Amino acid sequence: MSLPRSDQSGHADFSLTTALHRLGSPPYVYRLATQLTPWFAWAAVACFGIGLYGALVAAPPDYQQGQAYRIIFVHVPAAWLSMAVYVVFAIAGAVGLIWHIKVGFIVARTSALIGAAYTFLALATGSIWGKPMWGAWWVWDARLTSELVLLLLYLGYLALDSAIDDRRTAGRAGAVLALVGLVNLPIIHYSVEWWNTLHQGATVAKLGAPSIHIDMLVPLLIMGIAFKMHYLTVLMLGVRTGLLKQEKRASWVKTLSPAR
Amino acid sequence: MREFFAMGGYGAYVWSAYFLCIVVLGGTVAFSITNLRTLLRTLSNSQQGPSD
């Protein structure tokens, strides 16, 4: 474990070096994650409260789909997060791979599990929405198939990770898999444009104004933030668990109070 | 109120989607908290008892 060194580099460079050194310091990251957990958790509770009210009560029914469209308020945030978490997952793995920061592997490992949960939710809620609207639970549509590939990437990573005993080797191998799988993200996003799909096109994340009414857009965005806060809460808890497992014998772990 | 739960005839679909989300999102939080608590307890016990 190398401690932060004071070197002769310039001031601007020094702050970045310090930040990197701190992120490589398990007790610092553990303390930070512990302090941040309640903030993210309460933010999630608040956003879910407001978002669910907006989604189920305040938003008007859709002119074509009636009340069935309300599935959008959980389906789309889950799908957004399934992809956003993948980006964090791949970057965290790369950070572990390139700078040998072990926290990177822990962030990647935790993110894979949550990412798989969001991908499952996006697929499952989409299936429940598809049955009354399309008349089928599942179709081999480009959007659905590429999202299923995303789930398989997460599950493949988790299988690989549990198959390798050495944590460092597992982290490296998984990071390579995660980076290769990044190719799938633009495919998911543009699948509705590149192929003639049954899945509807983008309504929010596109050039020009969103083609969704503001009364529906606002609860959708709040639900998006709620899912993000949920991710960060679970991530903080997972990072703490991962750090404790890795640093079992370190002196800072022995000074922790068991009550926390 | 009955109208609210009926969701214009789509109640079964809408509510099952929301229910599934609550189960998965709540489940991941509960799983993470349990994992962390168990580990913290194990670590503090192994400090008092004989070293492994």
Structure tokens at A233: 């809460």
Q: Is residue B25 part of a domain?
A: yes
For residue A223, give the nearest of A77, A62, A59, A56 by alpha carbon: A77
Higher pLDDT, A232 or A62: A232
Distant-in-sequence, close-in-space partners of A170: CB < 8 Å, separation ≥ 6? A105, A160, A161, A163, A164
Q: Is residue B4 part of a domain?
A: no
Domain hosting residue B21, numbered range: 17-47
Hey, what amino acid is at A208?
Answer: G
For residue A118, give the nearest of A73, A160, A86, A161 by alpha carbon: A86
Distant-in-sequence, close-in-space partners of A62: CB < 8 Å, separation ≥ 6? A68, A69, A216
Specify the pLDDT at position A73.
95
Specify the pLDDT at position A9.
45
For A55-83, give one letter per residue: b (16+ CB within 10 A) or e.
bbeebeebeebebbbbbbbbbbbbbbbbb
For residue range A24-77, what is the model confidence (pLDDT) as tens digits? 788 999 999 999 999 999 999 999 999 999 999 988 888 888 888 999 999 999
Q: Is residue B7 part of a domain?
A: no
For residue range B8-42, what is the model confidence (pLDDT) as tens digits? 888 889 999 999 999 999 999 999 999 999 999 98
Bridge partners of A62?
A66
Residues on B contacting A at a C-beta cutoff of 8 Å: 4, 7-10, 13-14, 16-18, 20-21, 24-25, 28-29, 32-33, 35-36, 39-41, 43-44, 47
Specify the pLDDT at position A71.
93
DSSP collapsed to 3 states, chain B: CHHHHHHHHCHHHHHHHHHHHHHHHHHHHHHHHHHHHHHHHHHHHHHHCCCC
Share of chain A above pLDDT 70, in %: 92
The residue among B4, B32, B39, B52 with the most chain A CBs within 10 A of its CB, best to mutate, is B32
For residue range A178-206, what is the model confidence (pLDDT) as tens digits? 999 999 999 999 888 888 778 888 887 77
- What φ, ψ does residue A66 adopt, rounded to 5°? 60, -130
SS3 A245: helix
Q: Is residue B29 part of a domain?
A: yes
Distant-in-sequence, close-in-space partners of A192: CB < 8 Å, separation ≥ 6? A142, A143, A199, A200, A201, A202
Instruction: Measure B36 CA to nearest chain A CA, in Å.
Output: 5
* B29: closest chain A residue by CA: A234
SS3 A107: helix
Q: CB–CB of A68 and B25 under 8 A? A: no
Q: Is residue B31 part of a domain?
A: yes
Domain count, chain B: 1
Q: Which residue has the tokens 């945030």?
A: A77
Q: Is residue B40 part of a domain?
A: yes
Confidence (pTM): 0.89
For residue range A111-136, what is the model confidence (pLDDT) as tens digits? 999 999 999 999 999 999 999 988 88
A78-87, A118-127, B40-49: range with lowest mean pLDDT: B40-49
Q: Is the distance from CB of A204 to CB of A220 less than 8 angstroms?
A: yes
Q: Is residue B10 part of a domain?
A: no
Q: Is residue B1 part of a domain?
A: no
Distance between CA atoms of B27 and B12, rounded to whole angstroms?
22
Q: Is the distance from CB of A34 to CB of A20 less than 8 angstroms?
A: no
Distances (CA, A) of B8 to A65, A119, A133, B3: 10, 28, 14, 7
Mean pLDDT of chain A: 88
